[in-house]
Amino acid sequence: TGFVTLDQGFVNTASTTSAITYIDGDAGILRYRGFPIEQLAEKSTFLEVSYLLMHDALPTPAQLKDFGDKIRVHTLLQEEMRSFFSGFPRDAHPMAVLSSAVTALSTFYQDALDPLDPEQVEISGIRLMAKLPTIAAYAYKKSIGHPLPYPDNSLDYVENFLRMTFGLPTVQYDVDPKVAKILDMLFILHADHEQNCSTSTVRLVGSAQANLFASVSAGINALSGPLHGGANAAVLEMLEQIRKDGGDVNAFVTRVKNKEKGVKLMGFGHRVYKNYDPRAAIVKKAALEMLNTLDKPDPLLEIAFKLEEIALSDDYFVSRKLYPNVDFYTGLIYKAMNFPTKMFTVLFAIGRLPGWIAQWSEMMVDPATKIGRPRQLYTGFAEREFVPIDKR
């Protein structure tokens, strides 16, 4: 069976070739299809970036309109899906509801599940892009006992999501364009990140030729972990805890450096970036912008600034090249937008969806694709004799 090497966590082993996202972790560079993230964040929109990731070129105005229109007509969930949400307990984690509902989509669209048929893949991708914000909003509405609204397709992608999340039939709700703009930009920053844990999961599941809904649902579950997308919620919990404990940032950093069990500086460190995460730099600026619109300053921002300042000058973090990652400041923005902490990772999932679809689709048309099947180095017993139960 040949020579097997051990690379736990895929630290040095590429699982695939890919033409979608480029990262230079030492230089802190991130590009989608060759375009620097800074330019996309400033000048593009989430739907345009989604198109770019899925099609490998920026859309013409006509292509973008067509893409947006296709997504718009699919935002509605089947009525049976609405009752699906009432089956969960009210305190269900919205990430669990999200992944379950995405799996459930495959029960409604059985006519278009073939991963090898490009037309079926395209419509599945459109359905996912259109329905994930609706599902996300319903997961939230369910958790607070509010009625589930219908999408309003006269609104754009992010506005529609914000209205479904925060609107109520009894009160006029106007989307704040500034909030919509910042959220759209955050979705762009999350849209792809090459072979991260959830994307590799989506690819691995798809490599068995499971359908797109099944694969993305698995990716959502991977993303929910605190070392991955769940870090954005974990950062806020960490900041809250430091505030409750009297705001002593130095004491917390000492606990991190002492490697107390379960104590990490959440929102810091990255497998690939050994420099400032370029997304974190953009998020930090947006956090300041967003938090400046609040009537009274969020004390957690002060704690985050102090943490970053101490960490960036402390040898523990400097020698290990630990810098803030994308998750360090996003939670503060989401909080200022009134999202509860439990929803933060759901927002990450909405942003990452086009990347998952693009990566999965790239794999499906690549003739070099094989089922993902890592090897192992066995460390268990050599052969031994079975002992009948009455002799043990």
327 belongs to the catalytic site: yes
- Of the residues 43, 65, 320, 375, which one makes contact with ligand CMC according to CB under 6 A: 320
Pairing type for strands 29-32 and 35-36 reads: antiparallel
- Of the residues 77, 322, 349, 357, which one makes contact with ligand CMC according to CB under 6 A: 322
C-alpha distances in Å from residue 303, one per residue of 82, 85, 221, 323: 41, 37, 30, 16
Token output for 218: 């698995």
Which residue has its beta carbon closest to ligand CMC? 269
User: Which residue from 231, 233, 240 is spatially nearest to 300, judged by alpha carbons?
Assistant: 240
74 belongs to the catalytic site: no
Binding to ligand CMC (CB under 6 A): which residues in 263-282? 264-271
Q: Which is nearer to ligand CMC, 141 or 270 (CB)?
A: 270
Q: Which is nearer to ligand CMC, 227 or 365 (CB)?
A: 227
- Alpha-helix residue ranges (DSSP H) falling in the chain: 37-43, 46-55, 61-72, 79-86, 94-108, 118-143, 157-166, 177-190, 197-207, 212-223, 231-244, 249-257, 278-292, 299-313, 315-319, 327-336, 344-365
Category of 335 on φ-ψ map: left (φ > 0), alpha (ψ -120 to 50) or beta: alpha
Binding mask 142-181 for ligand CMC (x = CB under 6 A): ----------------------------------------
Binding mask 179-198 for ligand CMC (x = CB under 6 A): -----------------x--
Task: Report if residue 227 touches ligand CMC, rule: CB under 6 A.
Answer: yes
- Catalytic-role residue among 184, 192, 277, 327: 327
CB of 202 to ligand CMC, least distance (A): 14
CB of 286 to ligand CMC, least distance (A): 16
End-to-end alpha carbon distance in the chain: 36
Q: Are 126 and 71 in contact (CB under 8 A)?
A: yes
Q: Which is nearer to ligand CMC, 59 or 229 (CB)?
A: 229
CB of 86 to ligand CMC, least distance (A): 31
Task: Report if residue 352 touches ligand CMC, rule: CB under 6 A.
Answer: no
User: Which residue from 17, 20, 216, 34 is spatially nearest to 121, judged by alpha carbons?
Assistant: 216
Q: Site residues (CB under 6 A) for ligand CMC? A: 9, 196, 227-229, 231, 256, 264-271, 320, 322, 325-327
Residues marked active site are found at 270, 327
